[in-house]
Amino acid sequence: MKSMIFSRVRNRISAVVSVYNELVCKPKGIKQYSSDVKVTSRVKQVDIPGPDPTPPFKGNDSDFPCVLRNSISGPEPEYEKVISGFKTFTYKQPFQFKYHDGILPEVTIAYETWGTLDESASNAIFIFSGLSSSSHARSHAENLKPGWWEKFIGPGCAIDTDKFFVICANHIGGCYGSSGPSSINPLTEKPYGTTFPVICIEDLVRFQFMLVESLGISKLYGAVGSSLGGMCSLLTGVIFSDKVERVVTISSCAKSHPSSIAMRYLQRRTIMSDTNWNNGHYYGKAYPKIGMKLAREIATITYRSGPEWDMRFGRNRIDPSSQPSLCPNFMIENYLDYQGEAFCTKFDPNSLLYISKAMDLFDISEDFGSMKAGLSRIKCPVLILGVQTDILFPIWQQRELARELHEAGNKAVTFYELNSIFGHDTFLLDLNGVGAAVKGFLETNLAKKDTDGEHKKDDGSQQ
């Protein structure tokens, strides 16, 4: 009897090993599928063979459509067609970057303008964009598509084009018309790729001021920015203190903190771990779509807030009648998947690497010994906006910035805390809270106010 049982077990084990070797160790005819190809076959999990009608094991059986549909990237992105209607300024002499003695033989920056510059060239406002934004902040005759800050700019808006001449540019290192890794090196006639110099916020600001001067403007009425743009507007007040009359920094900081650095690091790692990234030289070759998609999904988590997602998605299922699987079952998973898919071919992965690293490197104290010493160079009024649900630039960073500016001697600091559920993306969505604060600050002559600084919540109360 024992020998019979042993023989039966041995035969089952042998059969399992045979099936395993056939399906796993020697995969035959397994193909990759693009998103537009219908999957008609599946690679099944190994079942225990034998006549027993009640087998001791039944495993997961799935073709993982959420993986297969992304196994081959879509069409190659065409960055120059993402936007249109921008102007360019090209500096045809070598431009030196802060780190590693990096030099480009020439640099081009894309920009757009709205409103009219007055005769004294004293009504110009520069809007510094975010990480992935273009120069197209608002629609105009040359590009009728809505801009990324469409409702905030225009006649009678927060930034009133009846009063101000407004400028917005695509950052150096970007891919929407400005010089970046996807641009052609005129010396090699090939894309720079990762031979592009490492950039920092100071490089971005200095070159954008070269653009401002090329337009015949010696002093800005205002420097306005959110997120990365808020770093730029703040640094403008530090290194060009005599060339700006007021600064607006929204959902930003005076230095990047470890948590935000960690989240941007993970985004870079997902891109660089994609085999198609090819050390940054993928132009004209297979595109690192999977890495870029995952990077955007990680970023999306940092841009919104838990309270919003709880109200918007909760634990709702995509299909309540379906059985659980390892692919997305919850609406929040589907939302992240959509965000990654929608964005991954609209922005150059190398641009994300370079600009996100510049954000990590940002620290006002770097060249001045301390944060307070750096901020003491800002002589103009400053508006600081923060959002209580922001996890990427948490509210304590804006509180710290307001306090440090005040202690550094700036008596014209206004600080608002916004109680919005939209997290970091509030600056793109909250027209009432953000727009009203910006409009009031820009259109009030704060230079003549003799105050001890103000800290306000969005209900208008002072603290």
- Residues assigned a catalytic role: 227, 390, 424
Cα 344 to Cα 75, 154, 171, 349, distances in angstroms: 11, 30, 19, 8
Assign 28 to helix, strand or coil: coil
How far apart (Å, rounded) are the C-alpha atoms in residues 178 and 174? Answer: 6
* Contact status, residue 393 vs residue 424, Cβ threshold 8 Å: yes
Bridge partners for 96 per DSSP: 103
How far apart (Å, rounded) are the C-alpha atoms in residues 5 and 206? Answer: 81
* Contact status, residue 458 vs residue 418, Cβ threshold 8 Å: yes
Identity of residue 9: V
How far apart (Å, rounded) are the C-alpha atoms in residues 384 and 363? Answer: 17
H-helix or E-strand spanning residue 268: helix 258-272
Bridge partners for 388 per DSSP: none
Q: Which residues contact 257 (CB under 8 A, 6 or more apart)?
A: 394, 397
H helix intervals, 118-215: 201-214
Q: Which residues contact 132 (CB under 8 A, 6 or more apart)?
A: 343, 347, 352
Q: Which residues contact 287 (CB under 8 A, 6 or more apart)?
A: 73, 76, 77, 276, 345
Cα 340 to Cα 265, 277, 289, 347, distances in angstroms: 17, 17, 10, 11
How far apart (Å, rounded) are the C-alpha atoms in residues 336 and 309? Answer: 11
Identity of residue 58: K
Cα 240 to Cα 46, 159, 201, 236, 374, distances in angstroms: 67, 22, 14, 5, 12
Of the candidates 46, 39, 89, the residue with the CA atom closest to the CA atom of residue 64: 39
H-helix or E-strand spanning residue 237: helix 228-239
* Contact status, residue 122 vs residue 221, Cβ threshold 8 Å: yes
How far apart (Å, rounded) are the C-alpha atoms in residues 65 and 280? Answer: 29
How far apart (Å, rounded) are the C-alpha atoms in residues 251 and 433? Answer: 13
Q: Which residues contact 460 (CB under 8 A, 6 or more apart)?
A: none
